[in-house]
Structure formats: structure tokens, C-alpha cells
Amino acid sequence: MTNIKKSPETPAIRIGISACLLGEKVRFDANHKLDTYIRDTLGQYFEFVPVCPEVAIGLGVPRPTIRLVGDPAQPRAVGVLDPGRDVTAALEDYGRRMARELPPLAGYLLKSKSPSCGMERVKVYQDKGIPKMGRGLYARELMAARPLLPVEEEGRLGDPVLRENFIERVFCYHRWQQLETEGITPARLLEFHSRHKLILMSHGAEYYRALGRLAAQAGSAPLAALAQEYIHGFMTALARPATPKRHANVLQHLMGYLKKQIDSADKAELLEIIDAYRLGEVPLIVPVTLLNHHFRRHPNEYVAQQIYLAPHPRELMLRNHI
């Protein structure tokens, strides 16, 4: 894949982020939650847009802690030591405002467990009994206002499947944003769909088929509405993590483009490696590398246009896990 580290020549891939994850001392205790993987590794490819909603609404540093209480679907954010201090409306209003005012983002990384920024499983305390789980108030409003935006928590990036899924969604959504900037035409929409067909297949054949039917209407249906329906379906599909079984189906599909070019021994080797991947014996990068090797020797125009074989920078090593 072409090196797409940040440079003056490449469009910025902007990622919103909880400021504490970049080492900014904005926590309630005047500390930070620096994540070096995010800063040092992802920071080579993404331009971060840091936000701390609690500081932004005037809570200060250091500050008394807040927590969520009440209905998990509509909790209130109040002071732990001073329950009369209610900042619910301030956090919700700020989330809605930032959803409008932030620049175009290709993704967002949130601080887990935070009553303002937590994406999921944030404790919502009850009058009696164990806490229930909800979502941080800033995060809830932001995600509601920008439903297409890939969002993840820093803690979940430790899971290699979730990490790859988030970064794949970021790069795909960035390509869509570039398409919007260029101007969506029927031809460009069809090209976008064609290039992402195998990625869609790895997330579910039903998405691949449904979005194919939708893209086929380009040129006959109202384009603006069609494009919005398409990208909502596309991002919904990608939010469902790919599985080894679905990846194996894609790899075997790709083999079909080599059936007349490679001999029986090469075919047997490919099938063996694909099956070893499906069984969890080797990482995805192994069959992908072998397929790339064969396609370098036997180029195929359709396969060369596919994003699937190189969806993100190889230096991130996202396909190297079992």
C-alpha cells in the first residue's frame, strides 16, 4: 500500500479525541491518561483534534468528581460529594454544539468509563443496588448527531479485532469524505462501491448484496438521497466486525481470479494457507501476502482496484494477529 503517513501532500485524516489521552493534564486530579499507542503510532497517520468537555463547560482543573445517576437511558451528571451540582444540561449542550462545530472528522477516540466521554458501560448509580450501565453525556450527544462517525474507546483498542475494525472504518469513512469533497456523481458512487466490494463481503454477504442493489440505482434514483442511504448502510456494515470465516470466503473468492494463472501446486498451497487462517493457526496477513505475491506476478485490473488487500498502512500491522 502507498505510504500514507501524514505529509503536506496528503489530506489530513482528522480524529477527534479525549484530550487526556494525548497527555493533556485535564483530568479531575490534574493528571492525564496518556495512551502512547494512540499518540506515537496512530499519531503518525491521523491528525488529532483534542477535546475535554468537562474543562470546556467550566469545571476546571483540578475539580470535584462527577458521576452519572438515575435512568441509564437519560442519566444526570452530578457531583459525587455535592449531588446538588448538576452539569447534565451543560454537557449535553456542549456535545450538541461540538457535533456542529468540530471540523469534518473521520473518527473519534473517547476515554472509557468517563461520565462525559465514555462510549459504553459507564456506571450509572442508583439509589439502591448495583450501578447500571450507560453512556457518557457528551459522547451520547456527539454520536447521536454524527451517526456515521466511527467511534471507539482507548481501552477497547487493546482488542486486535476491535482495533482493526475501528481503523478500517476510519480509512473507509475518510475515503467517503474525499468523495463528497470531489462531488458525488453516479459514476463516482459506483466506483466507490466497486472498490469496497470485498471489504463489504468480509463483513457480511447480505451487506454486499444489499448495497450492490442500492448502488445499481445510481443514475436513475435521486442521487443525494441515494448517497445518504448508501453511506448509512455502508458504515452500518463495517461496524459489524469481520470474522475469520467471512475473511476466508473473500480470500477464496480472490483465488478465483487466479484459477487460469497458477498451477495446481500453488492452488493447493493457497487453499492450505487460507484454511490454516480460518482455523486460527496463522494470521490474516499470511494468506493476504501470498495472494498479493501471485497478483504481482499475474496482475488483474479488478483486483488491483480493490481496497481489501491493502485497506490501511501495513506498518500498523493490524492483520498480524491470530
Residue 7 counted as domain residue: no
Q: Same structural domain for residues 181 and 319?
A: yes
Whether the CB-CB separation of 112 and 154 falls below 8 Å is answered with: yes
Q: State whether the Cα torsion 211-14-38-175 is positive or negative.
A: positive
DSSP conformation class of 38? I
272 burial via Cβ count (<10 Å: 0-12, 13-18, 19+): exposed
* Burial bucket for residue 188 (CB in 10 Å: 0-12, 13-18, 19+): middle
Which residue in the block uniquely carries the three cell numbers 477527534?
A: 16
Predicted pLDDT of residue 129: 83
Do 118 and 240 have their domain in common? no
- Say whether 44 sits in a helix, a strand or coil: helix
Q: Which of 117, 132, 158 is where one domain is finished?
A: 158
Asked whether residue 144 falls in the same domain as residue 188, the answer is no
> Do residues 175 and 148 both lie within one domain?
no
**Peptide linkage before 83 cis (omega within 30 of 0):** no
Q: Are 152 and 177 in a shared domain?
A: no
199 and 57 share one domain: no
Domain boundary among 158, 177, 206: 158
The pLDDT value recorded for residue 322 is 82
Cα–Cα distance for residue pair 41/60, rounded to 1 Å? 30
**CA–CA separation, 269 and 258 (whole Å):** 13
Same domain? For 141 and 199 the reply is no
How many domains in the chain?
A: 2
Instruction: Tell me, yes or no, whether 44 and 101 share the same domain.
Output: yes
Q: How far apart are CA 194 and CA 286, in angstroms?
A: 25
199 and 128 assigned to the same domain: no
Exposed / middle / buried, residue 151 (Cβ in 10 Å: 0-12, 13-18, 19+): buried
Q: Are residues 106 and 178 part of one domain?
A: no
Q: Would residue 271 count as lying in a domain?
A: yes
Mean pLDDT per segment of 10 residues, for the chain of length 322 residues? 55 94 97 97 97 97 97 96 96 98 97 97 93 97 98 96 97 98 97 97 95 95 97 98 97 96 96 98 97 96 96 93 86
Does 241 lie in the same domain as 266?
A: yes
| Whole-angstrom Cα Rg for the chain | 22
Q: What is the domain range of residue 173?
A: 168-322
The three-state secondary structure class of 34 is coil
Say if residue 196 is in the same domain as residue 152: no
Q: Is residue 6, in this structure, part of any structural domain at all?
A: no
Of 158, 178, 206, the domain-final residue: 158
Q: What's the predicted TM-score (pTM) here?
A: 0.94
H or E stretch at 252: helix 244-255
Q: Provide the pLDDT for residue 162.
A: 96
Amino acid 6: pLDDT: 67
In a domain, 8, yes or no: no
